[in-house]
Amino acid sequence: MHEKNARGFTLIELLVVVAIIAVLMAILMPALKMAREQGKRVLCLSNLKQLSLAFILYADENDDRLVCSNAGNGASNQWVGRTWGNYKVVGEPMPEPEQLDALKAGALWPFVKEAKLYQCPAGYRGEMLTYAMMCSIDGFKVEDKSPVWKKRIQIPQPAERLIF
């Protein structure tokens, strides 16, 4: 005959296991959150690098002239095809098809061709463009909408300048 020596876990044993799992989770959760944030930072820097390379490639193909930093002014070489400003004022995101059309109309799109590169992973959901370009790095004057005249060689101390 077979004897049944099998016994179940006691309530105390189960509570100890649950407590150990809870302690491990409490220890690991901050580390996982930090790893996720680090991943977002790495992706954000990668996106900025790709946009900066597109900025350089644009200049290479356009007689060393810089892309226009001001969006929505009607210039043929603006970095994105229109401004998001009106939507930001009312607090509503621009509809996604319009956002994508605006990115594709920009002078950097032929060098980027990926909408996700315009968006920081820590940015607002629903916004395809979460980066901004430094205004007037290209010589554009907002007050008179003069054309971009600067070439890369005309930027003093370029290593100390920000593009995005």
**Contact (Cβ atoms closer than 8 angstroms) between residue 90 and residue 100:** no
Among candidate residues 106, 105, 107, 103, the one with its CA nearest the CA of residue 118: 103
Answer whether residue 38 is part of any domain.
no
Return d(Cα 33, Cα 159) in angstroms, integer: 33
Answer whether residue 3 is part of any domain.
no
Q: How many domains does the chain contain in total?
A: 1
pTM of the model: 0.76
Give residue 71's pLDDT: 72
Answer whether residue 15 is part of any domain.
no
Answer whether residue 148 is part of any domain.
yes
Answer whether residue 112 is part of any domain.
yes
Split the chain (164 residues) into runs of 10 and give each run's mean pLDDT: 68 93 93 93 96 94 87 76 65 82 92 94 85 74 62 82 82
For 112, the domain range is: 45-160
Give residue 144's pLDDT: 60
